[in-house]
Each structure stands twice: as C-alpha cells, then as structure tokens.
Amino acid sequence: SWLPQPADWAPLTVDAQTGDPDSTLELYRAALGLRRRLPGLGDGGMSWQPAPDGVLAFTRPGLLCTVNTLPHDVELPSPGTPLLTSAPATVNGSVAVLPGDSCIWWAIPTAGR
C-alpha cells in the first residue's frame, strides 16, 4: 500500500479476510450473491413484522430478516430456512437462537405458493 497502515489493521485487509467464513468481507460477498439470485432482496417494498423487544423483523417477498440489537442471545420461532447469518446461530426445528448483535436472513414461504 502506498500509505502506512497501523499493524492492528492487518486482519481487516482483503487478503486476510478472503476465504475466512467468519469475516465481514465473506459475509458481504455471500449477501451480494443472494441479492443477485433472490428477487426479494432487490428494490421494492418491505413490511415490518412483530418481534420481541430489542429485535427488528421485516419481510420482503420470500424473505424475512431478523436483527437482534441486544447484547445477548434471543430465542425466536424459526420461520423458514436460514439463508445467511452474521454470527453463528442455532436453529433446532421450530426454534432459533439468534446471538446478540447479529441477524439472520430467512427464506420463507410466499402467499400463493
């Protein structure tokens, strides 16, 4: 690089994050891949959904996004198939445990299908 960088930034480089499934870079790459494949992640409307305190939930066609804004795990009903998580989550049948400060994008059934 043409400018010196602090040594503690080394783990944030593309070289360091490429191939690391827990990196922000690979999360963004996976999300962009989903956006290209799933029309519900394109432009269009969304609807807010009921959720426990500290959790945001919204739907788009065929998708539900649940965001835990709390610093601790939250147990939620599992509405469908997890597509992408920003942190390791546990999904066991009809129950999901969403870690603190994380989100899950779900594939959900759409009306008329």
CATH of the domain at 82: 2.60.40.1180
Q: Quick one: 53 and 18 in the same domain? A: no
Average pLDDT over residues 12-37: 89
Mean pLDDT of all residues belonging to the chain:
90
Domain enclosing residue 100, as ranges: 45-113
Task: Tell which residue, 57, 56, 63, has the closest CA to residue 40.
Answer: 63
Sheet bearing 74-77, strands edge to edge: 74-77, 95-98, 90-92
Are residues 106 and 67 located together in one domain of the fold?
Answer: yes
Whether residues 106 and 62 fall in one domain:
yes
Query: How many structural domains comprise the chain?
Result: 2
Residue 112 or residue 45, greater confidence: 45
Which of 26-30, 43-47, 67-71, 88-92 is the most confident on average?
67-71
Distance in angstroms (rounded) separating the CA atoms of residues 88 and 84: 10
pLDDT beyond 90 at 63: yes
pLDDT at 113 over 60: no
pTM for this entry: 0.81
**Same-domain status, 2 and 24:** yes
- 97 and 61 fall within a common domain: yes
